[in-house]
Amino acid sequence: MRQIVLDTETTGLEPGQDHRIIEIGCVELVNRRATGRTFHRYLDPERAIDEGALAVHGISRANLDGQPRFADIAAELLEFIADAELVIHNAAFDVAFLDAELARLPGEARQVGGLCRVLDTLALARELHPGQRNSLDALCKRYQVDNSDRSLHGALLDARILADVYLAMTGGQSALALSVGSEAAALQQQGGPIRVAARTAPLPVFAADAEELAAHEAMLAVIAKASGGCLWLSTPSAGAAVTQAAAV
């Protein structure tokens, strides 16, 4: 299973007000393992950046001088995410911006939903933790994911952090399968049986010593005397010991 964890940074909050994407970061997962493949681009938005957005990501308009436009990298991006499931936190936000950028391209209109499946980790977190804070920072704290480098938002950094959070949130049986090796994980993904090597060393057996046996039989006698009988007293030695103790 191929998944792309994706994040964007933008000039503002509303694509309907002509706000644009200024950074895209993607991290590839295959069968729940990071492959090391990433896609990361800064983009010239061809417009100013809102002060509120600048305070979040710290990317100024001057930082983007000379960077490509979305149209210049669109084909490469679409090739990278093709046929994958996109994993996005608050997916509606990023997908709306991506759809707006795609709508500006010449040719046949395209939308992210028609190209990829989309998994919203914010919606997933709200199902798992109703009534709690489910921002990316809150999830990092809940799942003990290190986000100490996140003083400002950054698309690739946030995508890497989200990948760790997503794997922690959805660990369960998949994480167990990974612990027995990649072959077992692949078999589980395909619904096949998982074969685990049997233990070859014999299990150690520790026998009770005489003092322990005597203490055990004395306790059985106490139980027998208090309850009027013990159904599990089936051995002659235990029965004899209880009878003797009960007569005291």
The rounded distance, in Å, linking the Cα atoms of 36 and 116 is 21
Q: Is the Cβ–Cβ distance between 2 and 30 less than 8 Å?
A: yes
CA distance 138 to 73: 33
Please report, for the chain, the start and end positions of each structural domain, with discontinuous segments joined by +.
2-189, 210-246
Instruction: Tell me the C-alpha distance between 6 and 158, whole Å.
Output: 8
Residues 75-118 pLDDT 10s: 999 999 999 999 999 999 999 999 999 999 999 889 999 999 99
3-state SS assignment for residue 239: helix
- What's the Cα-to-Cα distance from 68 to each of 42, 64, 95, 125, 213, rounded to whole Å? 7, 9, 20, 35, 82
Higher pLDDT, 240 or 170: 170
Of residues 39 and 172, more confidently modeled: 39
Q: Model confidence at 136, in pLDDT bands (50, 70, 90)?
A: very high
User: Which fold, 2-189?
Assistant: Nucleotidyltransferase; domain 5 (3.30.420)
19, 57, 89, 153: which is the annotated catalytic residue?
A: 153
* Share above pLDDT 90 across residues of the chain, in percent, rounded to a whole number: 64
For residue 5, give the 3-state DSSP assignment: strand
pLDDT at 223 (0 to 100): 74
Between CA 90 and CA 123 the distance in angstroms is 7
Alpha helices in 36-90 (DSSP H): 51-57, 70-81
The verdict on whether 153 is a catalytic residue reads yes
**Rounded Cα–Cα distance for residues 94 and 24 (Å):** 10
- 208-246 CB burial, b ≥16 within 10 A, e <16: eeeeeeeeebeebbeebeeeeebeebeeeebeebbeebe
Sheet holding 33-42, edge to edge: 33-42, 21-30, 2-10, 85-88, 117-120
HSE-up of residue 234 (Cα within 13 Å, Cβ side): 2
Show the tokens assigned to 128: 């798992």
* 24-74 pLDDT tens trace: 999 999 999 999 999 999 999 999 999 999 999 999 999 999 999 999 999
Q: What is the DSSP letter of 204?
A: P
